Amino acid sequence: MADAVRVNTEEMAQVAPTLRAGQRVLLSGVCYTSRDAAHKRMMELLDTGGSLPFPVEGSAVYYVGPTPERPGQVIGSAGPTTSGRMDAMSPRLLDLGNKIMIGKGKRDAAVKEAVVRNGAVYLAALGGAGALMAKSVETLEVIAWPDLGCEAVRRLTVKDMPLTVILDAHGGDLYQSGPAAYLEAK
């Protein structure tokens, strides 16, 4: 990915406004894993005045439920989960400071609006390439709800995770502009 932008998760608050839908990114830094069940628990915590299991301000959340690692591996297959299952909960996290969402698939209008409102981004990981995504993971630590198995919240340190900007802070949506550009090029 020679033309990809290298970004550290700690810099995303400053970098997000410069990214555009369709741009490729090599992401490094800390990501937290969370899927449906963990998102529901986080909403319950927020509803009762509790604290989330990770600092949401400036965070990167990867929608993934990795498979168990083999001996000598940090993580098993780590392909993205369909992001739409988190749509009802994502605007709340974005409003609390979440800057990066990583998954696959389209997002609803409320998520798109929250991305723009909060200067965030939604990045797509390559679906069906869980082994490739796993190669980017350098460390893994379960930090909340181990009873959820693969859906437990994990703290990952990643290096050069290959991603594509789908939703940008300016309202760009690759799922809309990409097909239009393809048809125009024909």
Asked if 39 is an active-site residue, the reply is: yes
Q: Return d(Cα 102, Cα 161) in angstroms, integer.
A: 11
Rounding to the nearest 10 degrees, give the CA dihedral for residues 12, 15, 18, 23: -60
How far apart are the C-alpha atoms of 145 and 152, rounded to whole Å? 5
Helix intervals (H) in 51-163: 90-95, 109-118, 130-134
Distance CA 164, CA 21 (A): 8
Structure tokens belonging to residue 85? 């299952």
What is the predicted pLDDT for the residue at 181?
Answer: 72
pLDDT tens by residue, 11-53: 999 999 999 999 999 999 999 999 999 999 999 999 999 999 9
The partner residues of 164 in beta bridges, in order of sequence, read 24, 124
Residue whose token pair is 């994990």: 154
Q: How far apart are CA 65 and CA 183, in angstroms?
A: 35
Residue 155, pLDDT score:
98
How many beta carbons lie within 10 A of that of residue 9, not counting itself? 21
Q: What is the pLDDT of residues 130-148, one digit of tens each?
A: 888 999 999 999 999 999 9
- For residue 104, what pLDDT is reported? 96
Mean pLDDT across the stretch 149-176? 97
pLDDT given for residue 75 in this prediction: 95
Residue 42 CB-density burial (10 A; 0-12 exposed, 13-18 middle, 19+ buried): buried
Considering the entire predicted model, what is its pTM? Answer: 0.94
pLDDT at position 118 over 60: yes
Q: What is the percent of the chain where pLDDT is above 90?
A: 85
Q: Quick one: pLDDT at residue 128?
A: 75
pLDDT at 182: 65
Catalytic member of 27, 31, 39, 89: 39
Is residue 45 exposed (0-12), middle (13-18) or buried (19+ Cβ within 10 Å)? Answer: middle
- Per-residue pLDDT tens for 42-97? 999 999 999 999 999 999 999 999 999 889 899 999 999 999 999 999 999 999 99
